[in-house]
Amino acid sequence: MSIFLTKDSKVIVQGMTGSEGTKHTTRMLASGTNIVGGVTPGKGGQSVQFPAFDGQDTAISVFGSVAEAVKETGADVSVVFVPPKFTKGAVFEAIDAGVALVVVITEGVPVHDTAEFFAHAQASGTTRIIGPNCPGIITPGESNVGIIPASIAGAGRIGLVSKSGTLTYQMMYELRDFGFSTAIGIGGDPIIGTTHIDALRAFQDDPDTDAIVMIGEIGGDAEERAAAFIKENVTKPVVGYVAGFTAPEGKTMGHAGAIVSGSSGTAAAKQEALEAVGVKVGKTPSETANLMRAIMQDLSK
pLDDT above 90: percentage of residues in the chain = 84
pLDDT band at 55 (very low <50, low <70, confident <90, very high): low
Write the pLDDT tens digit of every residue in 121-137. 999 999 999 999 999 99
- What pLDDT score does 52 carry? 72
pTM of the model: 0.93
> 40-49, 154-163, 237-246, 262-271 — which is least confidently predicted?
262-271
- Rounded CA Rg of the chain: 19
Write the pLDDT tens digit of every residue in 10-38. 999 999 999 999 999 999 999 999 999 99
> 48-57, 72-81, 228-237 — which is least confidently predicted?
48-57
pLDDT band at 243 (very low <50, low <70, confident <90, very high): confident
- What pLDDT score does 252 carry? 52
Q: Which residues contact 270 (CB under 8 A, 6 or more apart)?
A: 216, 218, 223, 224, 227, 242
- What pLDDT score does 227 carry? 96
Tell whether the model's pLDDT for residue 261 goes beyond 50: no
Architecture of domain 11-130: 3-Layer(aba) Sandwich (3.40)
Write the pLDDT tens digit of every residue in 195-227. 999 999 999 999 999 999 999 987 788 899 999
Tell whether the model's pLDDT for residue 263 goes beyond 70: no
Active centre residues (catalytic): 255
Name the average pLDDT for the chain. 92
pLDDT band at 250 (very low <50, low <70, confident <90, very high): low
Domain boundaries, the chain: 11-130, 152-299
- What pLDDT score does 61 carry? 98
The class of domain 152-299 in CATH terms is: alpha beta
- What pLDDT score does 58 carry? 87
Write the pLDDT tens digit of every residue in 75-112. 999 999 999 999 999 999 999 999 999 999 999 999 99
- What pLDDT score does 33 carry? 96
**3-state SS record for the chain:** CCCCCCCCCCEEEECCCCHHHHHHHHHHHHCCCCEEEEECCCCCCCEEEECCCCCCCEEEEEECCHHHHHHHHCCCEEEECCCHHHHHHHHHHHHHCCCCEEEECCCCCCHHHHHHHHHHHHHHCCCEEECCCCCEEEECCCEEEECCCCCCCCEEEEEEEECCHHHHHHHHHHCCCCCEEEEEECCCCCCCCCCHHHHHHHHHHCCCCCEEEEEEECCCCHHHHHHHHHHHHCCCCEEEEEECCCCCCCCCCCCCCCCCECCECCHHHHHHHHHHCCCEECCCHHHHHHHHHHHHHHHCC
Can you tell me the mean pLDDT for 174-181? Answer: 97
- What pLDDT score does 103 carry? 98
- What pLDDT score does 288 carry? 97
Q: Do 152-299 and 11-130 have the same topology in CATH?
A: yes
Tell whether the model's pLDDT for residue 117 goes beyond 50: yes
